[in-house]
Structure 1
Amino acid sequence: MIEPDWWKKSTVYQVYPKSFKDTNGSGTGDIKGLTMKLDYLHDLGIDIVWLQPVYVSPQNDNGYDVADYCRIDPEFGTMEDFDELMLELHKREMVLMLDIVVNHSSTEHEWFKQARQSKDSPYRDYYIWKDPAPGGGVPNNWQSKFGGSAWQYDEETEQYFLTLFDKTQADLNWENELVRKEVVELLKFWAEKGVKGFRMDVINLISKDLSFPEDDGSIAPGDGRRFYTDGPRVHEFIREVYDQVWGPNHLITVGEMSSTTLAQCIRYSNPENNELSMTFNFHHLKVDYLNGQKWELMPYDFEELKRLLSEWQVGMNEGGGWNALFLNNHDQPRALSRFTDDRKYRTESAKLLATTLHGLQGTPYVYQGEEIGMPNPVWNNIDEFRDIESKNMYRILQEQGKEPDEALNIIRERSRDNSRTPMQWDTTINAGFTTGTPWIKVDERYRTINVHSQLEDADSIYNHYKKLIALRKELVILKDGMYVRLDESHPQVYTYARINEQETLIVMSNFSDQEVSFSIPDEFWNERMNEQVSELLISNTLHVPELAQSTSLSPYASYMWIIK
């Protein structure tokens, strides 16, 4: 019998289809490319494949602007290709998690085309429309997350419509029961095709403050997000979908949570509430934002990173919630380049990040290329970028007074395109991704950083991930162990323990290029460790120290021990 929460011992692999594998020379990855590589993912130990949007879309935001929720975009293949993917996943006892975007749709969606034709259209109330402000202009000062006003003017009907993201992504009106019914039906459509999970894009933004007030900035950040984040009816709306689709079909769900709180994520993911299986939060990926601003650079705050990871580990455990564990995704620069050394100590660093993350409580997510240590690519000029947010901000930064070189440097560090370059399969042309012209540049280092070179190397980053994924299936403590932080604000080391009634697991990582020493606190050592037998589960160095109260750590060294 399958455990009801089997996914708590599993690992999810995130596929950005546009950049994963192209089978027809178009320069864009496709569904057949994913099917072709299922054996690779199965060998890695993956149970759940998260496929990002492959629906019909004008691709202004790489598929997150959906024009038809129930059709496959020809760029990615056909529905027959999708059905074949489902069949091949089933053969390997793997399941598919599909990305669903229902806070907004593309303005090319038929609903919106009908809505903008007339204020009397039956689809008008599918979206959020407002008259101009009394003196003219936008209804309020809310800002788009991609820059500029969150309101777009429609000259034909002389009203504004809300767009919290790109100007072609119109926010859906979840207050309208018909919209909620449409969402239920489209989810049922994919569930009936065998999809076993959904990643819900910015799902905590679906309920807005219906008074649409001006944001006076009295509560940071002053761009309106407090009036639509974790809004007044969001839990009601999510439970409604759970009751009709997710619960009856026993589906795995993960909610992408924008600017949320720990308390909210506990509420979303506690199984007693019948909402979501788990949640993504992004606080730990803002520790290099100067004054909380994405487009202002600073070295990352290591202590804040550890504090946030620890706070969410303890809080979610105590509140009965469940974390989705990640350091990388399609919207973030590569963690390898961001938090460690992606050159001299690239291999050690990649393994360190993996061990540190996979020892935590939650369901780990591996983003394509992470498992082979893909770093941020080398960007030469702005023309190499494809991301709409990056291009907008390059212009806006210069309008704010930045010199072109300074603006470009910020984009290099922060762009979502850092994670969107093609998967590096081998040393052939275009890293084996395509025989055509890639839609976005391939990183020049693919000849040394690729899958082929790592599969047979027992000491490779790939095989390190493979071991960690296997350990999660094997060790109960990784699922149920209580989290205890042990490093006491050490400036270079992050050390924590996981504890249950039978065992203790310790993860120790040196996040620096210096040799450092670390001592486990006396109280913990004397209580848990005396006369116990320790076993090293995984390491990233040739020299493997015995577990001792005081340990010397070489640059970027990382270890996981279990004590019985």
Structure 2
Amino acid sequence: MTDAQRPWWKDAVIYQIYPASFKDSNADGIGDIPGITRSLDYIKNLGVDTIWICPMYDSPQIDMGYDISDYQKVYPPYGTVADMEELIHQTHSRDMRLILDLVINHTSDQHAWFKESRSSKDNAKRDWYIWKPARYDGNGKRQPPNNWRSNFGGGSAWEWDEHSQEYYLHLFCVEQPDLNWDNEETRKAIYDSAMTFWLDKGVDGFRIDTVNMYSKNPTYPDAPITDHDAEWQSAGVIYCNGPRMHEFLQEMNAILARYDAMSVGECPHTPDRNKVLQYVGAKQKQLNMVFQFDVVDIGMGSVFKYQTKPRAYTLPDFKKAVLRTQDLLDGTDAWTTAFLENHDQARSISRWCDDSPQWRVRSGKLLALMLASLSGTLYIYEGQEIGMINIPKDWTIEEYKDIDSKDYYNHVAEQSGNDSAKLADALAAIQYLGRDNARIPMQWAPAPNGGFTDASAQAWMRINDSVTDINVAQQLHDKDSVLAFWRRTLSIRKQHNDLLVHGTFRLLDVENPHVFSFVKEYQDRKALFIGNFSGEERQVPDLPTEGRWRGLVGNIDSHEDDLAPWEGRIYLVE
């Protein structure tokens, strides 16, 4: 395979960092950029090539930094632009790369662009955002332009601006107005301010937020009614993958290509494989890869993601979702991603395995084995490497910070008249699926504030009670820890790079409700993953007959014919 076919980002292992929660260097209770810089050796020793920093830009923090008020400044509690320049330098000096979050579907309503835009209908930047006049019902009552539901809170995606007498679109928070990408001047300002400014400082690419929402259906039609009990309807199938998406992404790719910079896009509401391939096929020159939501959306509610019960899925559902992400590589020039955690997802051990003290270490190692066996660029989220787990079930809603979770809980309270049973169900779903599970501070040591910040400081969010048992300090020199196993597994992934990173995925025994098994093939080489995703002993499935299978690595020392609870193995064919 030529260098052009195998650019650096295909073989990378990328470690995602949530700045507020990673490491506090100045005892103010909030993680910061210098804290990341001081932790680079820890990250590199894990076996990581690249770090990805969640939004560190200036922001009112209504949506934890995904509401940006200035792309060229750093949120002051995190540090300064000079701190970012030092982080970039120190990362590169360790032969690692750094990518940033690119949040450009919307800005904060405190961004200077939006302040101008809403100042009057005649302002030069009025068309930089999406403004529409009201429509009126048969009683003459003012109504939003359509029935689209906001992604947060369940209300309308349109907000009335009393001053300028029009509605503006916000697919997320009211404080996150959507930019108008159809305006060429707006796009140029986005590229200059959010991309080129940081590429010139040496960043190596971007994770691109909501990458398929920039081009909206120009007629802004009503969404189909899927929730008959609600006034506002889920509209992702309408506002995603609009008519000019490919044009816009080709413009962005042309900028990235000048810097040999990578792109990975967040691609929701796109179950159609052919649509995904149009974004990530190499010949398309748009995106290097995307995060598909097939796996992490399993078991979520169809209207509201929290309108569900914990573990509302089967293992075959999980397998088929993994297949859909891996299948992108079969016979194409596309690339894919492998991940189970990020800043928007619950902890994978709690979500897919068993986070009880008896099984959580083995569960963390099982998931490490599975992820290391999947093709594509591998993404690890902070704390995943030590087996961090979800928030305890006895925490009340007051401990949660995420606007999405709190808005849903308040919605249920309002709709149900504070029905205690319905609120308990809502909290159970939030505890299982909520974003705060990933945003809780990193567990560095069994100390006050978990070593995340000084013992005397007030951490911005409560430290998980599990910190006394799950932390970096205790695992660093423990050869049987989840951290040690991740290091070993990532080393094996690099040793068998062709097979594990670039191999073709073949799913076996699809309907087995307890055991997940698949083969990886690259030229004449083959590997086999087998994992018992249950708390009981299970029979090893019949191995494929194409050769003699030799054990390469497992998450327990086992020579038994049967699989122990939560046991995983990788074999190579001889």
Q: State the TM bucket, normalised to the shorter chain.
A: over 0.9
Q: Which moved more, 1:253-262 or 1:20-29?
A: 253-262
For residues 27-106 of structure 1, what are the structure 2 equivalents within 5 Å?
A: 27-106=29-108
Structure 2 CA distance for partners of 1:42 and 1:130, relative to 1, 3 Å: same
Does the 8 A contact of 2:341 with 2:384 survive in 1?
yes
Partner of 1:170: 177
SS at match of 2:571: strand
Contact 1:10-1:469 at 8 Å conserved across structures = no
- CA deviation string 1:451-488 (max 9, x = no partner): 11111111211111112222232211113211111123
What's the counterpart of residue 355 of structure 2?
A: 342
Unaligned runs of 5+ in 2: none
Q: In the alignment, which of 430, 438, 442 is matched to residue 449 of structure 2?
A: 430
User: Structure 1 residues 285, 322: closer, same or farther in 2, change over 3 A?
Assistant: same
Does the 8 Å CA contact 1:266/1:316 hold for their aligned counterparts?
no
TM-score, with normalisation over the residues of structure 2? 0.93
For 1:406, the equivalent position in structure 2 comes to 425
Q: Give the match's secondary structure for 1:169.
A: coil
Partner of 1:359: 373
Matched residues, percent identical?
37
The structural deviation recorded for 1:397 is 1.2
- Residues 86 and 425 (structure 1), Cα distance of their counterparts in 2 relative to 1, 3 Å cut: same
Instruction: Classify the secondary structure of the residue corresponding to 2:558.
Output: coil
How far residue 447 of structure 1 moved from its aligned partner, in angstroms, is 1.1
Q: How does 1:113-512 map to 2 (within 5 A)?
A: 113-135=115-137, 136-147=142-153, 148-186=155-193, 187-217=195-225, 222-243=233-254, 245-261=255-271, 262-291=273-302, 293-298=304-309, 299=311, 300-343=313-356, 344-378=358-392, 379-401=394-416, 402-403=419-420, 404-435=423-454, 436-475=457-496, 476-512=498-534
- Once the two structures are TM-superposed, the CA of residue 318 in structure 1 deviates from its matched residue by 2.8
For 1:411, give the aligned amino acid. Answer: I
CA distance in 1, matches of 2:515, 2:259: 44
**What's the TM-score, normalizing by structure 1?**
0.95
CA displacement at 1:305 relative to structure 2: 0.8
Distance 1:408 1:293 in 2: 13
Unmatched segments (≥5 aa) in structure 1: 546-550
Q: Give the structure 2 partner of residue 548 of structure 1.
A: none
* Matches of 2:327 and 2:398, distance apart in 1: 44
Quick one: distance in 2 between partners of 1:123 and 1:556?
Answer: 56
- Aligned AA for 1:41? I
Aligned counterpart in structure 2 of residue 518 of structure 1, from 540, 549, 569: 540
Is the contact between residue 17 and residue 52 of structure 2 (CA under 8 Å) also seen in structure 1? yes
Give the Cα–Cα distance (whole angstroms) in 2 for the partners of residues 520 and 320 of structure 1: 33
**Alignment partners' CA distance in 1, 2:274 and 2:291:** 13
- Counterpart CA distance in 1 for 2:199 and 2:573 is 42
Deviation string for 1:233-274 (max 9, x for gaps)? Answer: 11110001111x111111111000111132222121111110
Write the distance in 2 (CA, Å) between the matches of 1:216 and 1:408. Answer: 29
Q: For the residues of structure 1 that align with 2:237 and 2:459, how far apart are their CA atoms? A: 40
Q: Is the 8 A contact 1:398 1:407 kept in 2?
A: no
User: Which amino acid in 2 is paired with 1:163?
Assistant: H
Moved more, 480-489 or 149-158: 480-489
Find the aligned partners of 1:81 and 1:518 in 2 and give their Cα distance.
52
In 1, Cα distance between equivalents of 2:502 and 2:89: 33
Structure-2 change in CA distance of 1:454 and 1:334 (3 Å) = same
Cα offset, 1:277, TM superposition: 0.9
Between the aligned partners of 1:407 and 1:481, the Cα distance in structure 2 is 41
Alignment partner of 1:555 out of 540, 565, 570: 565
Show CA shifts across 1:346-386 (max 9, x none): 01101111111220111111000000000002152111111
Q: CA deviation at 1:322?
A: 1.4
Shift of 1:411: 2.4
TM-superposed deviation, 1:218: 7.2
- Cα pair 1:10 1:473 within 8 Å, conserved: no
Counterparts of 1:222 and 1:441 in 2: how far apart (Å)? 35
- Counterpart in 2 of 1:26? 28
Q: Shift of residue 501 of structure 1?
A: 2.0
Q: CA deviation at 1:512?
A: 0.1
TM superposition shift of 1:87: 1.2
Change (3 A) 1:452 1:108: same
1:277, 1:472 → 2: CA distance?
21
Q: Deviations over 1:68-98 (max 9, x none)?
A: 0011111100111111111111110001010
Displacement after TM superposition at 1:8 (Å): 1.6
Paired residue for 1:7, among 6, 9, 23? 9
Q: Show CA shifts across 1:278-336 (max 9, x none).
A: 10011211221244641122323211110111133123433332111111111111111
2: CA distance between counterparts of 1:28 and 1:2? 41
Aligned mates of 1:433, 1:219 — CA distance in 2: 43
